[in-house]
A = this chain, B = another copy of it.
Amino acid sequence: MHFNISQSAFNQLLQTVSKAVATRTPKQVLTGILLNVEETTLHATAYDLEIGIEDSLDVTPDGTLEIISPGSIVIPARYLTDVVRKLPSTLLTFQVSNPYMADIRSGTAEFHLHGIDAAEFPKLPIFHSAKSLTISSLLLRQFIRSSAYAASTLEARPTLTGIHSTLHMGQMTFTATDGLRLGMFSENIPENPDFSWDAVIPAKSLTELTKLLPEQDMPVTLELSNSHSLFVIGKTHFYTRLIEGAYPDISRIIPNHFGTTVRVDTAQFANAIDRAALIARDKENHMVRMELQDRKITISSNSPEIGNVSESIETIETVGDDLVIAFNSHYVLEALRATGSDQVQVQFNGSNQPFTLHIPEEQNNLQLISPVLMR
């Protein structure tokens, strides 16, 4: 195994896969990066058994990568990534001479790093004749951003740590809920075949995936097997296990009629809640109070030790009953970020029922929050 590679290209490759390196594990091989050199391609893989990332670089005439002989080895990620990152930005030589010892040379610097037999590295999941569909990376990012934040982080109910991802009649939906709030995003994916798809994907995995999605739009291919999902972004392959078990039926949670509908400027609403949250922050549920009266919203919070705050904003439109409600300010701020529009429509059914936030005139992005019951 022997290749020459530009430091920046090698560094980039290692940074991409390093997000899947295991950090706390007794299995040493999982803390490594597998390098596999074929005739014209260098593959790098990391796999912590939860997510796996494989990326590759082909030999090109510009000399970014020159392959002298094939082979494979696993090198502890922490050392490999730091060594490559700290080398000068010129060509470097990577060579396995002595078995399980990699030599990295750049200028007069010469590293010898102990490696592990590539045969010990776990195999990535296999996707044989799996279901597959293609969507835009920007749209995929929106799917994840509008749902993942609402997933549970508690392992007590594993299903709720996932995002329920479905495709039905050409409509794709991502849903996540921790039992106190829910984030949902739907969109038609018409160019894809009309098959059904139903999987619970760990929210943590999808949040990691967003870090690999490029700034500019490009197609992403999704594949689904019984146990795993695969996202292909250019040459980068991102694998994640699925969560077993049926996702709860959330259709009954979402109200279909409302007593009060208001439309507000998102920034005004968010800033008022953010400021009120300063006084509420030492309370367990970051509770702030909202009162709607005469088409005006007053956000307030008080603490016997610290003081109190109130702030009013005008609604853009109000339909229905006046209202007093209390909510977790962090939940509402996160839901407003997940909505991502200049104006937001908020719909209530009194003080004790869940309320929803969505983009006005659109139903495909829905955020739902349970209020804090006032005594």
Contacts and interface: CB of A to CB of B under 8 A. Distances in A.
Interface in A142-184: none
Contacts of A1: none
A114 to B, nearest CB: 5
B86 A278 contact: yes
A110 B274 contact: no
A120 interface: no
A83 B275 contact: yes
Interface in A276-325: 278-279, 305-313
Contacts of A88: 271
B306 A275 contact: no
A312 B110 CA distance: 9
Interface in A60-111: 76, 79, 82-83, 86-88, 101, 107-111
B109 A309 contact: yes
Nearest to A86: B275
Given A83-B275, A278-B86, A110 B310 contact: yes
A112 interface: yes
Contact of A312 (B108, B114, B272): B108
18 contacts: A76-B306, A79-B278, A79-B306, A79-B307, A82-B278, A83-B275, A83-B278, A86-B271, A86-B275, A107-B311, A108-B311, A109-B310, A109-B311, A110-B311, A111-B279, A111-B307, A112-B307, A112-B308
